Amino acid sequence: MEEQTEHKYLPNYLEYRGKYKGLAGWLTTTDHKRIGLLYFYSMMVFFLAGVVMGILMKLELISPGEQIMGAQVYNGLFTLHGLTMIFLFVIPGVAAVYGNFFLPILIGAKDVSFPRLNLMSWYLYIIGAIVVLTSQFMGDGPPDTGWTFYAPYSLKTQTNVVAAVTGAFILGFSSILTGLNFIVTMHRLRAPGMGWLRMPLFAWALYGTGWIQLLATPIVGITFLMVIAERLLGIGFFDPAIGGDPILYQHLFWIYSHPAVYIMILPAMGAITEIIPTFARKTIFGYTAIVISSMAIAFVGYFVWGHHMFTSGMSSTSRWVFSLLTFLVAIPSAIKVFNWTATLYKGSINIKTPFLWAICFIFVFMIGGFSGLVLGSLATDIHVHDTAFVVAHFHYIVFGGTGFAFFAALHYWYPKMFAKVYNPKIANLGLFIFFVGFNLLYFPMFYLGMIGMPRRYYDYLPMFHNANILSTIGSWIMATGLLIVIINLVRARRGTGKEVNDPWDGKTLEWTIASPPIVENFEEIPVVDHGPYEY
C-alpha cells in the first residue's frame, strides 16, 4: 500500500512489490487481499492436519478394542482435533479468508479501516496457533479435556491445559480484532451511494458476525484466564471442593461457544447468499428478510447457550427457557433456507461447481439443522446427549455448513483471487465423492447415537460395530474427494489460466474489477446507484 506514482500500469496484488520482496513482502503486507491469503494458506495447513487426525480417530473406531492407539492418545487426539478445527479453522474460517479478501471490495473500499491492525490479527492467530500446538509437546503431555476444557477436570488433569487455554485466549483476541476491523470498515468505508441496504449480504453476515465476535469472545477469554489463574495461582473459581460451581464454568464457556457457532455459520450463509443469485441469474428473494435474519441469528443466538447443558444439573426453569429460545433461533435460519430456495424458483439456473457446492451445503445444513431440533428439545436431548448423535449433528452443521461453504466460496471466488480457471469436471467429480463420503461418514453416527454409542471413547461395544465400519469407510471416501478437490485447485493455480474478470456474470462489485485485483482494488472508487443483485 505504498503510494503510487505510476498510473498507467497498476500492478495487481500478487505481483506488486512494496518495500520488501518475496516472503518478507507477504509477511509485512497490510493489503487485505494478501492478508486474506495468508489466512487461507495457514488455515489450509491446520485444516488438513485436523482432517488427518479425524481419519486416525475413525481408523481407531473401525473395530472394538484398541486398534492403533490407546485411550490416552485418543483423548489427546480428539482434544487436538477439536481445538484445531474449531479455533484454527472454522471460527476464523470464512470470515478471515473471504471476509478479508472480499469485504472491502464488496463495499467499494480500498482496504479495511485499520490495515495494520488487520495484519496484527493474523500474527496473533499464528502465535495463538503455535501456543496451542506447543501444548502437545511441552509439559506433562497433550491436554485430554476435549476442546471444551470443562471444569473441574481441566483444573485437575496433569496434562498441559494451561498452554492450550492460553493459545485459545490469544486466538480469541485475533478474532475480536478482526470483527472490530470489519464493523468499522462497514461503518466508514462504504462507497458513495452504497447505503446499508445496498450492501451485499455477505457483508451483512460479516457485520452480524463482527458483533458476536466483539461481545461473546471476551466472556470465554476471561473464563480461560480464570482457569489459568486457578491452575497456576491456587485461587478458586470453579472447583467444587472449594465451593466453586462447575456448572458456572459451563455457562460461561457456552455464553461464548454457542454464539461462536454463529461466528462460524453466519459468514458461511453469507457466502452461499452471494452464490445463489449469481447462478440462479435472479435477484435474491427477500433481501431485507435475510438482513434481518442475519442480525436476529446474531442476537437470539446469544441467548441459547444453555441447550448444551440440559443434562448438567441446571434448574428446570432455565432448561425450558433455553429450549424455547433454541427453537426461536431456528426461525431465522429457516428463513434463510426459504429465501435461497425461493431465489432458485423460476431462476435461469446455471449449474456450475460453486452452485453445486452451495446446493450440497443447503442439503447437509438442513440435516444438521433438523437434528439440532432433536437436541434442542428437552426430552429427546436426554436420550442422545453425549452420544455419537451429537457428534454427527455438529459435524453436519460445522463441517457440512462452514466447510461446504468454505469450498463453495473458494470455487466461486477462485477466478477472482488468482485469475486462474480450474477444471470444472474434476472439481465436480471431487465434490461428488466428497459429498458421498461425507454422508457415509456422519450419517451412521446419527444411528449410532440413537442406539446409545457414547462419544469420546476409543473403544465401544460390539453391537455398534457395523455402522462404525461404514463410517470409517466414509472417512476414506471423503478424504479422497477432498484430495481431488484440492489437487485440482493447486493444479489450476500452477497452470496458465486466462484472466477473466467476470466468469459467472456476477453483479456485485468484485466482478467489476480486474482479476486478480489491483493493489487498491478500484482504479476509481465506484459510485453505487442500485442494490447488489440486479439481474
Partner 1 sequence: METITTHQHADLHRDDTAAKLGMWLFIFTEILLFGGLFIVYSVYRFKNPVAFELAHEELSITMGFINTIILLVSSATVAISITAMQKNDRKITLAMLGITLLLALVFLINKYFEWGGKFEHGMYPGSELMKNLSNGDMLFFSLYFFMTGLHGVHILIGMILLGITLVKVKTGAVNSGKYALLENSGLYWHLVDLIWIFLFPLFYLIH
Partner 2 sequence: MSDEKIHISPYKSHIMVLLGLIVLTVITVLITSVEMGPYNTTAAMIIASIKGAIVLLYFMHLRFDQKIYGIMVAIVVAIFAAVIVVTFFDYLYR
Residues that bind partner 1 (CB under 8 A): 3-4, 7, 110-111, 113-114, 117, 176, 180-181, 183-184, 187-189, 214-219, 221-223, 225-226, 229-230, 233-237, 242-245, 248, 251-252, 255, 520, 524-525
* C-alpha span between 403 and 48 (Å, rounded): 12
CA separation for the pair 252, 248 (Å, rounded): 6
Instruction: Give the nearest distance from C-beta 101 to partner 1 in angstroms.
Output: 18
Measured CA to CA, the distance from residue 146 to residue 82 in angstroms comes to 7
In angstroms, the CA 114 to CA 32 distance is 10
Q: Which of 62, 124, 119 is nearest to 91 (CA)?
A: 124
Stretch that binds partner 2, among 14-22, 144-152, 298-306, 450-458 (CB under 8 A): 298-306
Of 13-21, 300-308, 375-383, 433-441, the window that binds partner 2 (rule: CB under 8 A) is 300-308
Please identify which residue in 44, 184, 215, 328 interacts with partner 2, judged by CB under 8 A: 215
Which one, 246 or 481, has the nearer CB to partner 2?
Answer: 246
Q: What distance in Å separates the CA atoms of residue 498 and residue 512, rounded to the nearest whole number? A: 17
Helix-then-strand count for the chain, H and E: 18, 0
Bridge partner list, 454: 387
Answer with the entry of partner 2, partner 1, none that 350 interacts with (C-beta below 5 to 8 A by kind): none
Q: What DSSP string describes 259-280? A: HHHHHHHHHHHHHHHHHHHHHH
Minimum CB separation of residue 199 from partner 2 in Å reads 16
Which cell is 211 given?
A: 458483533
User: Pick from 10, 321, 469, 470: which binds partner 2 (CB under 8 A)?
Assistant: 321
Contact 124, 177 (CB under 8 A): yes
Q: Which is nearer to partner 2, 118 or 250 (CB)?
A: 250
Closest CA to 96 of 29, 169, 43, 164: 43
Residue 35: name its binding partner from partner 2, partner 1, none (Cβ under 5 to 8 Å by kind).
none
Least Å distance, CB 517 to partner 1, is 16
Count of residues that interact with partner 2, criterion CB under 8 A: 17
Which one, 73 or 222, has the nearer CB to partner 1?
Answer: 222
Out of partner 1, partner 2, none, what residue 110 binds, judged by CB under 5 to 8 A for its kind, is partner 1
∠ CA 306-307-309, nearest 5°, is 65
Number of other residues whose CB lies within 10 A of the CB of residue 534? 8
Query: Counting contacts by CB under 8 A, is residue 457 touching partner 2?
Result: no
Rounded to 5 degrees, φ, ψ at 179 are -60, -45
Minimum CB separation from partner 2 for residue 228, in Å? 22
Q: How far is the CB of 212 from partner 1 (least distance, A)?
A: 11
CA distance 406 to 402: 6
Burial class of residue 475, CB neighbours in 10 A (0-12, 13-18, 19+): buried
Any idea what DSSP says for residue 138?
S
**Residue 316 interacting entry, from partner 1, partner 2, none, C-beta within 5 to 8 Å by type:** partner 2
Q: Which is nearer to partner 1, 243 or 462 (CB)?
A: 243
If binding is defined by CB under 8 A, does position 220 make contact with partner 2? no
**48 lines the binding site for partner 2 (CB under 8 A):** no
Q: Which helix (H) or strand (E) holds 34?
A: helix 32-60
The answer to whether residue 28 forms part of the interface with partner 2 (CB under 8 A) is no
For residue 321, the minimal CB distance to partner 2 (Å) is 5
Decide: residue 514, CB within 10 A, 0-12 exposed, 13-18 middle, 19+ buried.
middle
Identified binder of partner 2 from the candidate list 76, 115, 244, 306, rule CB under 8 A: 306
Which CB atom, from 7 or from 346, has the smaller least distance to partner 1? 7
Closest distance of CB 303 from partner 2, Å: 6
Residues from 163 through 202 that contact partner 2 (CB under 8 A): 187
Binding site for partner 2 (CB under 8 A): 187, 215, 247, 251, 255, 299, 302-303, 306, 313-318, 321-322
